[in-house]
């Protein structure tokens, strides 16, 4: 039977409950009516390309658990697709919600196809990068057809969401010159488009031909993640004129996408001091009509290379608390190198903690149950019960095993030993 809807948004507006919506309902404490209403409005996105056949769909947006994304992909200097596939499978093992392939070298299409066939979570890409890799052309020689051919390839490959920096217009680019920054443009996609516009004198092709982009996305049900090409790369640059000007444009493009039943997420800032995070979240929701918000961190200080998964988790927890729907993980290798598998695990755990902390603060129904279960196990010195509740049971078991109490009482730990508060009080209570 011929499909009677084009996208998840189109289905919701027609009152059709899709298989992907059913998958979301299985994992979220939201009613069917509420889910379909929010998908129809654009307040929830379900990125699920119809060519990604094995996807276990997830929802991103209002009233749902905060999701986390894992970035991976090869560079010219570190080019092992097998190693990146191991990272992707690690992301699944540790229950990440999405994987983004940011590869900029080698057989990128072959790797994308492999990801789509083997990885069941939503998969994102940045076609702007891949246009340079695929064509091998200098930036200024890229044609409009080149840009859109790449988007079409990614859509046909089964990619669920694509980051497109459509809001970085020539006007916004001028704002960078009149509002100097400490770190300028730190987005790779933003920098590529800025260079292309500067050298060709043309408008951003994805802004000028946005309807063409929407046609491709509607045809395959690809969610557009409207990228923040002018996101701040330093806390000094946070919430400046270029960032806000681009955000206003993204809000306008969001409405145009929804008119064509194309799902949208908005990408948010990278480096934001703590006291500006709440304002940034509320400003995005206001200017972009409550579209799902995907934040890159945010990092709350600039001085912690090697520990940026921690600075990101601090910002991510606060961002989630104030309305962010999707956190892009940051690893200890941020700003320093391509992350290793160990870095990926550290980044995933930090982001999962941030997302869960944010969900507790937002009052997402049911998320506190595991915390209460952990507390009960701790109150009984039930170590196996604690490990079962732990976000990383393997690490918790290793720490416990590495230092055992020397006395006759094996229930306590080597931090307190005979001074264990739980042990002293349990019989009294």
Beta pairing partners, 164: 226
pTM for this prediction: 0.96
Helix (H) or strand (E) holding 125: strand 122-125
Helix (H) or strand (E) holding 174: helix 170-178
pLDDT at 2: 57
Binding residues: 71, 100, 129, 165, 187-189, 228-231, 267, 271, 294, 335, 413, 416, 420
3-state secondary structure of 101: strand
Binding residues for Zn(2+): 271, 335
pLDDT for 2-45, tens place per residue?
A: 569 999 999 999 999 999 999 999 999 999 999 999 999 999 99
What does the pLDDT average to over 148-165?
98
pLDDT at 424: 86
Q: Cα(182)–Cα(71) distance, rounded to whole angstroms?
A: 25
pLDDT confidence bin for 1, thresholds 50/70/90: very low
pLDDT for residue 407 is more than 80: no
- Residue 205 near residue 144 (C-beta atoms within 8 A): yes
Residue 72 Cα distances to 55, 117, 184, 314, angstroms: 19, 17, 24, 22
In degrees to the nearest 10, what's the CA dihedral of 343, 345, 350, 355? 140
pLDDT for 325-384, tens place per residue?
A: 999 999 999 999 999 999 999 999 999 999 999 999 999 999 999 999 999 999 999 999
- Residue 339 near residue 298 (C-beta atoms within 8 A): no
What does the pLDDT average to over 47-61?
97
- Residue 265 near residue 161 (C-beta atoms within 8 A): yes
Ranges of each domain in the chain: 8-362, 369-426
Binding residues for substrate: 71, 100, 129, 165, 187-189, 228-231, 267, 294
CATH of domain 8-362: 3.20.20.540
Binding residues for [4Fe-4S] cluster: 413, 416, 420
Distance, C-alpha 344 to centroid of its chain:
14
217 contacts: CB under 8 Å, gap ≥ 6: 7, 155, 162, 223, 224, 257, 262
77 class by beta-carbon count within 10 Å (0-12 exposed, 13-18 middle, 19+ buried): exposed
pLDDT for residue 227 is more than 80: yes
What does the pLDDT average to over 140-165?
98
pLDDT at 373: 97
DSSP code, position 324: -
Q: Cα(150)–Cα(130) distance, rounded to whole angstroms?
A: 7
pLDDT for 5-14, tens place per residue?
A: 999 999 999 9
């Amino acid at each position: 039977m011929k499909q009677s809807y084009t996208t998840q948004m189109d289905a919701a507006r027609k009152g059709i409950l899709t298989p992907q919506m059913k998958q979301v309902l299985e994992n979220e404490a939201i009613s069917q009516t509420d889910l379909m209403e929010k998908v129809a409005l654009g307040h929830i996105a379900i990125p699920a390309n119809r060519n990604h056949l094995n996807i276990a769909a997830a929802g991103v947006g209002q009233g749902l658990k905060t999701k986390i994304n894992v970035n991976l992909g090869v560079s010219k200097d570190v080019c092992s697709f097998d190693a990146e596939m191991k990272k992707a499978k690690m992301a699944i093992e540790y229950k990440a919600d999405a994987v983004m392939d940011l590869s900029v070298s080698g057989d990128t299409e072959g790797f994308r196809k492999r990801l789509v066939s083997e990885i069941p979570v939503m998969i994102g890409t940045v076609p702007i990068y891949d246009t340079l890799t695929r064509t091998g052309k200098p930036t200024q020689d890229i044609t409009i057809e080149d840009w859109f051919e790449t988007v079409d390839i990614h859509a046909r490959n089964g990619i669920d969401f694509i980051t497109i920096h459509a809001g970085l217009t020539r006007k916004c680019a001028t704002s960078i010159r009149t509002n100097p920054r400490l770190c300028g443009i730190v987005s790779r996609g933003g920098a590529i488009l800025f260079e292309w516009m500067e050298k060709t004198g043309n408008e951003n092709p994805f802004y000028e031909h946005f309807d063409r982009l929407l046609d491709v996305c509607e045809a395959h049900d690809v969610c557009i993640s409207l990228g923040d090409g002018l996101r701040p790369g330093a806390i000094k640059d946070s919430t400046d004129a270029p960032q806000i000007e681009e955000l206003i444009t993204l809000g306008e493009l969001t409405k145009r996408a929804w008119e064509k039943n194309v799902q949208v997420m908005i990408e948010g800032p990278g480096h934001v001091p703590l006291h500006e995070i709440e304002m940034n979240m509320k400003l995005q929701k206001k200017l972009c009509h409550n579209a799902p918000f995907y934040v890159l961190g945010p990092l709350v200080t600039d001085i912690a290379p090697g520990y940026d998964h921690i600075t990101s988790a601090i910002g991510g927890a606060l961002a989630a608390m104030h309305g962010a729907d999707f956190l892009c993980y940051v690893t200890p290798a941020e700003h320093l190198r391509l992350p290793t598998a160990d870095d990926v695990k550290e980044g995933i755990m930090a982001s999962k903690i941030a997302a869960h902390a944010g969900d507790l603060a937002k009052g997402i129904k049911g998320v506190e149950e595991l915390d209460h279960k952990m507390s009960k196990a701790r109150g009984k010195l039930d170590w196996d019960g604690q490990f079962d509740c732990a976000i990383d049971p393997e690490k918790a078991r290793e720490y416990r095993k590495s230092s055992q109490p020397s006395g006759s009482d094996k229930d306590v730990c080597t931090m307190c030993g005979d001074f264990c508060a739980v042990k002293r009080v349990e019989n009294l209570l």
